[in-house]
């Protein structure tokens, strides 16, 4: 786990710096969660989002990492929600002396500069931004409202008390790195880190492999 400052050092300054001591500490921490502290079961190395929810519910887990809308989404594919329904949203954990934060990512609505339908696209985005539609998106899919009017509607907040906590997370949060080939970078990191989490290679080897591949890919930061 990286603090905001450490994240800036690892993913900033126009390059990916996996040689930063914080990168090694964070990955080692995740490995230790499985093999040393045994906070996490080995099964996590085989999970996707869906299976992590299943395991958490079936094994009465204390916590899990999921998308922030999971409290809306899991109801659609779990028959038994007796355990997971007791979980609530919490800030990301942090090391002693550090500060918590949220991380923003995922899909966004944007207009391509090459589009010949910019006016129509902008109308659609404005339509989706309306308060009522933001509320529908949240209620149906757990998508976080970005229209601040949603958070000032006292009657709506009474119905969805968790939004008060979500608003705090949004005020603390940081965006994921602005990388031109972010998806490819994520694939490189996840592949090497996954091998470390399975104890197939060491933390140092995982970081070295990822660094080599990233340099070969010539990752460009916007």
For residue range 47-79, list pLDDT tens digits in order: 887 788 888 888 988 888 877 677 777 666 777
Structure tokens at 195: 């091998």
**What's the distance, CA 184 to chain centroid?**
16
Per the CATH hierarchy, to which homologous superfamily does domain 4-105+176-217 belong?
Periplasmic binding protein-like II (3.40.190.10)
Q: Is the pLDDT of residue 13 over 70?
A: no
Q: What average pLDDT does this structure show over 178-186?
A: 79
Q: Kindly report the pTM of this predicted structure.
A: 0.80
- The answer to whether 136 touches 128, Cβ cutoff 8 Å, is no
Return the residue matching tokens 């989706």: 128
Domain coordinates in residue numbering, the chain? 4-105+176-217
* Closest among 177, 210, 179 to 193, alpha carbons compared: 210
Q: Which stretch of 84-88, 125-129, 160-164, 178-182 has the lowest confidence by average pLDDT?
A: 178-182
Rounded Cα gap, residues 68 and 137, in angstroms: 13
């Amino acid at each position: 786990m990286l603090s905001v400052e450490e994240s800036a050092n690892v993913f900033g300054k126009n390059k990916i710096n996996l040689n930063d001591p914080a990168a090694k500490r964070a990955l080692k921490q995740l490995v230790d969660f499985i093999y040393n502290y045994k906070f996490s079961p080995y099964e996590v190395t085989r999970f996707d989002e869906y299976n992590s929810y299943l395991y958490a519910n079936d094994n009465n887990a204390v916590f899990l990492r999921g998308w922030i809308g999971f409290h809306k989404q899991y109801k659609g594919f779990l028959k038994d929600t007796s355990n997971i329904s007791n979980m609530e949203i919490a800030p990301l954990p942090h090391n002693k002396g550090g500060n918590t934060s949220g991380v923003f990512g995922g899909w966004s609505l944007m207009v391509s500069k090459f589009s010949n339908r910019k006016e129509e696209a902008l109308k659609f985005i404005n339509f989706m931004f309306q308060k009522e539609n933001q509320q529908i998106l949240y209620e149906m899919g757990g998508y976080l409202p970005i229209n601040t009017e949603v958070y000032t509607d006292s009657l709506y907040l009474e119905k969805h008390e968790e939004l008060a906590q979500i608003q705090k997370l949004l005020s603390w949060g940081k965006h994921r790195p602005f990388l031109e080939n972010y998806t490819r970078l994520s694939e490189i990191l996840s592949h090497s880190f996954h091998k470390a989490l399975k104890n197939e290679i060491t933390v140092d080897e995982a970081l070295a492999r990822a660094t080599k591949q990233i340099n070969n890919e010539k990752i460009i930061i916007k």
